[in-house]
Structure 1
């Protein structure tokens, strides 16, 4: 009997080893292939659905992990963010590693940021693809969230759109907004606004104009996208049109802040995921200053998308706080795998 049990255990172990050996290695998709084959338009529908599912508690989204790399002779400075999620019923889940602010890379003629998406089979748990996206897919899904926010939280006649900060995220926000409606663009930044306006006018076929202050931009805009890396607010309440929709995506860690607390309190505050925004988003600052609590959150974006709560109802001020959720990463990961695994 003992001999029989030993033989059974040996067969089980041998079978397990054989099963493990059958997993194919994940496919590697390089940056050039990704940028040639994916666009922000690919992401909008899937990200919109992901927000709806998130509000229905059908997405498993852990809180982000943050690794700070202090500056020493051997490393840094820099930051690493790890996010991920699984949307119930979909065939894959995604884990993303994004590195930012490695400023010494500039001395080596390298970008300051990089990153990968790992798309995993939700059936077997085996990695299917590694996407060396270097924040490209991250920026796509952030832009898509901007489009979803604009669609649901601004009126159809709100066609004056401003951009404070004119980097890569702003470009994807501009492209995503164009998928919602035609508009007139305005841009303000410490650097790069002229090139941004020139490039976006040529690409989108819509007029973009440089303004010389954030105050003038706010006075000219129905919808304002902010995407800056700083720790100081970039606008003020008296500058805003009463019906402005502010879509803020710059704050994704506790050191950042774009929107002053009185602006947050003045209208409807919409979070992408409240458990994140209270820790790393604009809500964190308002709570810290005693101006707001989590009870002041009007809605999560997914509640507006799925119709649980109304978005734009009249001429109210709306602030949408986008910190970036694992649901978005799962959505763009699925899109990327569906499209690029067929290449």
Structure 2
């Protein structure tokens, strides 16, 4: 995870310095809310490559049998446009999303932050726990999920895996009380986290909602926060929490203070006070997938693993 957080540090700087090309993702929606197919193409200048992630999002999928995100990342070399790698999009998405949140936490959370609240107990909760343990020295971990049995299993399994005690909270408000790192990682269509509950000085990674019509946090939480994003273009088109607050007239477009890559390269300020509530809105972008895919490809080549197919 630490390697991927470092990779996201470089990648998000490249995004903010416009050394990538990534059109907005296109989404095919199947009838009756059966699911979606996302198409996320992009180009990286360094390491130079291009490719696409094709990923299905099926709400009824239940890990570990079926990931909520299933698909492929296809990577091409730049000289002749030949495909050079075909990778599992579910694994890449799970890791790179958490690593980007780990980067945001590294840059925006208070240095002494160590009380973590996870809202959600699925795939992203597992990877985010690892990322938060990498970004900060945690002294307390709480988890909440609508399915309390799922939360209890998460606490038992992931607590044993990482050697930490994980408390199961009965409701989101109790989970975030006193927390200074909060990750929202749910499929909620309407807010589960209210701004009035946020402790002064907390950092939020808002991850679960990736379309314009859903929101995990309410407008007050947006208003209260110093608001940072992975990519401005994505947020103004797909960031449900931001768009709701903008439509309500409680914020202006200037509420987006910076992309996280601008904080990473030092061109924009992050946290300015220990009492600031900072927020990183994650939507996920193609550059993260392609950088991760290229990194995995180079590691596989060096280790002599993987299957080779001649075209």
Alignment TM-score > 0.5, same fold: yes
Give 1:210's aligned residue: 168
Alpha carbons 1:92, 1:120 under 8 Å: kept:
yes
Pick aligned residue for 1:228 from 167, 178, 186: 186
1:69 matched to which residue of 2?
30
Give the TM-score, by structure 1 length: 0.82
Paired residues of 2:203 and 2:277 also in contact (CA < 8 A): yes
Among candidates 118, 143, 149, match of residue 104 of structure 2 = 149
User: C-alpha root-mean-square deviation of aligned residues, in Å?
Assistant: 1.7
- Post-superposition Cα deviations, 1:218-271, rounded to whole Å, max 9, x if no partner, equal 113101000111111111122111111111011111232111112111121101
Say which of 113, 127, 130 aligns to 1:172. Answer: 127
Inter-partner Cα distance in structure 1 for 2:196 and 2:44: 41
Residue by residue, what CA displacement relative to the aligned partner does 1:44-91 show, whole Å, maximum 9, x if unpaired?
2111111011111111111111111114xxxx7210111132221313
Structure 2 Cα separation of the partners of residues 284 and 224 of structure 1: 21
Measure the CA separation in 2 of the matches of 1:112 and 1:168: 8
Paired position in structure 1 for 2:297: 337
Q: Which runs of 5+ in 1 are unaligned?
A: 1-39
Which structure has the bigger radius of gyration?
Answer: 1
1:53 matched to 2:44? The reply is no
Aligned-pair CA distance for 1:174: 0.6
Aligned-partner Cα distance in 2 for 1:244–1:152: 13
State yes or no: 1:129 paired with 2:75. Answer: no
1:193 counterpart (151, 163, 168):
151
SS at match of 1:135: helix
3-state DSSP of counterpart to 2:242: helix
**1:274 aligns to what?**
232
Matches within 5 A, 1:24-103: 40-71=1-32, 77-101=34-58, 103=60
TM-superposed CA distance for 1:288, in Å, is 2.3
- CA 111–322 in structure 1, closer or farther in 2 if over 3 Å, else same: closer
Alignment partner, residue 36 of structure 1: none
Deviations 1:172-221 (A, max 9, x none): 11111111122121111112111111122111122211111111111131
1:119 aligns with 2:75: yes
Distance in 2 between residues matched to 1:195 and 1:125, nearest whole Å: 46
Residue pair 1:53, 1:59 contacting (<8 A) in 2 also: yes
Measure, in 1, the Cα distance between the counterparts of 2:41 and 2:89: 16
Which of 277, 280, 289 aligns to 1:317? It is 277
Instruction: List alignment gaps of at least 5 residues for structure 2.
Output: 306-311
Question: How far off is 1:118 after superposition?
Answer: 0.3
8 Å Cα contact 1:248/1:320 also seen in 2: yes
Listed one character per residue, the Cα deviations across residues 287-324 of structure 1 (whole Å, up to 9, x for unaligned) are 22222232221111111111111222222011110000
Moved over 3 A (4+): 109-113
In 2, the alpha carbon distance for the partners of 1:310 and 1:122 equals: 35
**Tell me, what secondary structure is at the counterpart of 2:177?**
helix
Kindly tell me: are residues 330 and 112 of structure 1, through their superposed partners in 2, closer, same or farther at Cα, counting changes over 3 Å?
closer
